[in-house]
Amino acid sequence: MSDAKMAESVFVRVSEPIPTVVETETGSMVVRGAHALAGVRLTRDATSSLQLHREMPPDVDYAGAWVQRHARFWAMLAAGMSATAPSTPLRGSSRVASYVDPWTRSFELRLVGGGSRRESVEFGLWVKAFDIDAEAAAMEATALARLVTALWLPECEPRPMCSEADFERGWQTKDLPWLAEVRRDEGFAVRIAEGDVREGDYWLSDWSPAPEGLMEVWDLLRRLPAETWVSVGVRPTRLLEFEERALGELWAQAQRLATGKTVSYHPHGEWQASRWAERLKRWMPGAFLVRLRIGGEPEAGRWIAQALAGALMEPTGSPGSSAVVVAAESEEEQAVARFNWEWADFQAWGDDQAQPGWDRLRYLCDAREIGLLAGVWS
């Protein structure tokens, strides 16, 4: 990062102290604190990107290489979050802060297109810090913005947003008429022969995004009749102890189905056991919570949400790869969805079919999945 960028004053938006639900190793707790946001403008340098493409051997997958570079960026961020985890109690609280801070740091890649911005898509990356002390939250957001500026791929010419006007241009906190999320599908396999549903029959779909499908979403976003926003919310995290146990129990239950007396359950059990084992392997070293948010007019918003859901599915129709669009319907859901949109937060809303304590599983991703979702569009 250049000395000029280091010297720039970063604009930070800070909330009033707000009661906020925070996940901890022992369950959820409510902490009253301030949310602080700062932004990083990303301007793609087409010339340097084209040069990079030309320098690659003809047999190299350029899109795949780009995704891998972005995956490394998110892995570096996650490593930094872990390295700075405090061992002291949260200020003003008797609860240990090893999960409260720094695991409430969030990153939001936000794209907007359509309407008056037709034929172009603007994007930026915003960072969020949370602390019971507003000044500490603002300082942390500033540090995160400078960290992203230093680590983000230089082809995008990252630069901190130094004015409120620059911040607001892409953040968009006005009361959007329609808010939704694209989520992994989930459910329970019903054992018809036994006529019941068991906790161990819980299944969770995977995402299989391809660069081509995500670029189609980008193209649609440019052509929409009304301004529409796509926001990729990312929070570095780790598996909580009870989540590790849940994954192990789901794997063990699937193994029992695969080797049980009822032959009709064997393929389902084998398939599910391999998937739970793979997830545990990918999420144990370092995981991310991801929320894919859509905002805008209802009609255009639904188009882009459905296109994004389709882009996350395996085009060959591979089983277990599916995504659903969940719109905020009730006043309570809309209030939480608006809060998440305005402050890049991860508060729960909508129905979850998983039992209590498993509700984060559908939002977990690894660095490569984030590299795809963020790297293709940037």
Of the candidates 86, 25, 102, 36, the one whose C-alpha atom is nearest the C-alpha of residue 343 is 36
User: pLDDT tens across 232-284, in order?
Assistant: 999 998 888 888 888 888 888 888 877 876 666 777 778 888 888 989 988 88
Cα→Cα distances 173→46, 104, 109, 296, 359, Å: 30, 20, 15, 11, 27
Percent of the chain with pLDDT over 70: 78
Whether the per-residue pLDDT at 92 is higher than 50: the answer is no
Whether the per-residue pLDDT at 23 is higher than 90: the answer is no
- Total Cβ atoms within 10 A of residue 317: 7
**Rg (the chain; Cα; Å):** 21
Distance CA 300, CA 71 (A): 30
3-state secondary structure of 182: strand
Q: Provide the b/e sequence for 253-273 (b: ≥16 CB within 10 Å).
A: bbbebbeeeeeebeebbebbb
Domain with 200, as residue range(s), is 3-238+286-377
67 burial via Cβ count (<10 Å: 0-12, 13-18, 19+): buried
The total number of structural domains in the chain stands at: 1
Write down the pTM of the prediction.
0.85
Q: Is residue 250 part of a domain?
A: no
Q: Is residue 254 part of a domain?
A: no
**pLDDT grade for 126, boundaries at 50, 70 and 90:** very high
Q: Is residue 261 part of a domain?
A: no
Q: Is residue 353 part of a domain?
A: yes
CA angle 339, 343, 346 (to 5 degrees): 70
- Note if the bond before 158 is cis, omega within 30 degrees: no
Q: Is residue 135 part of a domain?
A: yes
Q: What is the pLDDT of residue 42?
A: 84
Q: What is the pLDDT of residue 97?
A: 41
3-state secondary structure of 176: coil
